[in-house]
Structure formats: structure tokens, C-alpha cells
Amino acid sequence: MTVHTLSIAPGRAQGLFETMSQEMRLRNYSHKTLKAYRSCIRTFVRYFSPKHPRKISNSEIRTFLLHLMNDEQWEASSVNQMFTP
């Protein structure tokens, strides 16, 4: 079995969107799916800006999901789909 790893240029940190895009391409996700996931991640990151995503707690994520349903009027099924890979 061959394991593929992603390499980046020395001295260059790989961003969240770039990492996610590469992983999804390796898993053969369609362009449309990739675009939809990027949109969801962008919404998530903007909501918590300037806080780094790695520093977001489970309770903060729960608050975000409730915000989408209560304030942004997202359907529960859309919210569930957003965070179900």
C-alpha cells in the first residue's frame, strides 16, 4: 500500500483552506462539494474571527450551530450537514 503525503515549500506554512482542498482532492471529492465545504468553513472562521480555529471550544461550536439555526434561519438539516464530513 502506498501512502501519499502532501509536501509544502520549505518555510511556508500551509493554510486551512489549502490543506482542506488538498485532502479533499486526494479523496476524489467533486469540485462542487469542495466549493460547498469551503463556504461552510469560511462562515465558521468568520464567526470566530480573530480567534484561531484550534482554540475554539466545543461549547463555542455549539453556540455557533445554534446561531446558524436561530439567528441565520438555517435549517437543522443544513447545519448537521455542515459539520458531518
Domains in the chain: ranges and CATH: 16-82 (1.10.150.130)
Round to whole Å and give the CA distance between 41 and 38.
5
**Contact (CB, 8 A) for 39 and 78:** no
Model-level pTM greater than 0.75?
A: no
pLDDT tens profile 15-69 = 878 888 899 999 999 999 888 888 888 899 999 999 988 899 999 999 999 999 9
How many CB atoms are closer than 10 A to CB 7?
6
Whether the Cβ atoms of residue 17 and residue 41 lie closer than 8 Å to each other: yes
Report residue 84's pLDDT band, with 50, 70 and 90 as the boundaries: low
Report the distance separating Cα 63 and Cα 2, nearest Å: 41
Higher pLDDT among residues 83 and 85, named by residue: 83
